[in-house]
Structure 1
Amino acid sequence: MKTSKIIIYDEPTVPEIQIKKLEKFLHDTFHADTEIRKNFFENREDEIFQEIATTRVFELKKPFSKHIPTKLEIQIEKENIDNSQNEEKILYDGFEFQKIISKFIPSNENDQEILNIIFTNKLTCTFDESDFRYHARALIGTNPAIISTTGIIEAPAKPKEYYLDLMVNFTKESAEKIKEKYKGEFLEYNDSRITEVVEGYLLQAVMYYETGEAFCEDRECRLYNAHWQKELLYTQSNKKLCKNHEESLRKIINHS
């Protein structure tokens, strides 16, 4: 295993993330030294918030274009570290966001042997050349890896019937009733299942960094790239790896 240490940066605005449990999961799974740190954005100078604001996405059907932020937008970025969710659903280009985070990792910890994983409530997305539009993402791989707590909720789609019901009868009151109708079939904010699901994204982040292989095509594998909430909840409650990824994990551990 090329990674000798894994550092995870907490997101305290999402108390459902049991950070100690996640640290133990990483240590038990990869037998690597692990460390928990406070929120990556806490007590930072204005510079990082100014740079992050440049990664905001305003045109969903156009490739990334660097944004020149206003003073108000920079201030909002500073204030948003205390919010439990990205209420305005502001989108950020995930790769540009990751580049900026990388610049603020301490130089002695910004190497191949230390994997930094940052939790954030910002909604990261990437531009897909196949359909020429941005899509929300829960995970931006590489190092540092970014796990978006908002992306976990918003990126995988809810049941088709849920959207059809909204289209037929959309008011604020009916939306709440429809949400209640499908309760349990998808993750919500302040959902107690979030830690179990985050374990899967942590597993994906480390495996991707170690092997360079993105996700899995097997729906029974915990590394499966779930496009639907139903798939996500199934694979993460199942907690199994396919035979190929079980073997990959063994090789990674044995080469530690």
Structure 2
Amino acid sequence: MKINRVFLYDEPTVPEIQIEKLQKFLKDAFPIKVEIRKNFLEYSSKDVFEKIASVRIFDLKKPFQKHVPSLKEIEVEKKNQDASGQEEMFLYDGFKIQEIISEVIPKNENKFDTLHVFFTNKITCTFDEGDFRYHARALISSNPTIISTSGIVEAPAKPKQFYFELMSNFSNEKIEDVKKKYKGEFLEYHDPRTSQVIEGYLLQTIMYQETGETFCDQNDCRLFNAHWQKDLLYTQIENKKFCKKHLEIIKKMSN
């Protein structure tokens, strides 16, 4: 393998990541060293909170424009609280967050054979030139890699009927009723299935580092790029298998 070491940077506000379990998963799957580190904010400079606040997205239909954050916005970033499920959740440019995160990687660990994976509770987004708008992303593959626990919940779409029922009578009570009706059909914040799903995203980013390909186009493969929650749950929890092509690649990487 091109990679021989992986660093996993924790997100303490989301214990469902189960980072020790993910460490064991990678060690069992590949002949690599896997180390756990604290959240990247623990290693960052004092101005990191201002930098993070400055890459918030306020207009989904415009490419990135740097924001001049207020003192209140900077204070919110310092607290790094669990904002899951709140009415107001901030969006961030994923590539800009990636640049900020890169600054905490020691120079002697910034190598091709070392992969850095950062977990975050922030909703990371990328601007799509195809439809000229930002989209939430669960995974931003590169080195460093970002896995957004909020993106896992928000990026893959819920069942179409879920949205239809919300639109027919939108209210806080209605939202809760519809969520109960479709409970189990999509991931929620602090979902106990989170860690299992993250295993798939880890496999995808390692595949990208090794082959240059992140996703598979077959929806029965664990490397499938799921745009719907039902596909995400099927590939990562119900099926947990690879297509023939990627199974062969995984076998070679595992030896």
- Category of TM-score, reference length = shorter chain: over 0.9
Report if aligned partners of 1:91, 1:124 keep a CA contact under 8 Å in 2.
Answer: yes
Q: Which runs of 5+ in 1 are unaligned?
A: none
Write out aligned runs for 1:153-232 (5 A).
153-232=153-232
- Give a deviation string over 1:194-231, Cα, whole Å, max 9, x none: 11101111111111112111211000000100000000
Percent identical: 60
- Give a deviation string over 1:54-75, Cα, whole Å, max 9, x none: 2111110111112222222111
Report if aligned partners of 2:186, 2:233 keep a CA contact under 8 Å in 1.
Answer: yes
Aligned to 1:79: 79
For residues 17 and 102 of structure 2, the distance between their equivalents in structure 1, rounded to whole angstroms, comes to: 23
Aligned to 2:100: 100
Aligned to 1:249: 250
Which has the higher mean CA deviation after the structures are superposed, 84-93 or 226-235? 84-93
Code of the residue aligned with 2:141 in structure 1: it is G
Code of the residue aligned with 2:63 in structure 1: it is P
Pair 1:109–1:211, CA change in 2 (3 A) = same
Aligned to 1:147: 147
State the aligned residue count. 253
Taking structure 2 as the reference length, what is the TM-score of the superposition? 0.95
- Give a deviation string over 1:111-134, Cα, whole Å, max 9, x none: 111100000001001111111110
For residues 191 and 107 of structure 2, the distance between their equivalents in structure 1, rounded to whole angstroms, comes to: 36
Report if aligned partners of 2:217, 2:224 keep a CA contact under 8 Å in 1.
Answer: yes
Aligned to 2:19: 19
Aligned to 2:89: 89
Which stretches of structure 1, 4 residues or more, deviate above 4 A after TM superposition? Answer: none
Task: Please give the secondary structure, in 2, of the residue aligned with 1:231.
Answer: helix
Q: Which runs of 5+ in 2 are unaligned?
A: none
For residues 33 and 77 of structure 1, the distance between their equivalents in structure 2, rounded to whole angstroms, comes to: 32
Report if aligned partners of 2:16, 2:190 keep a CA contact under 8 Å in 1.
Answer: yes
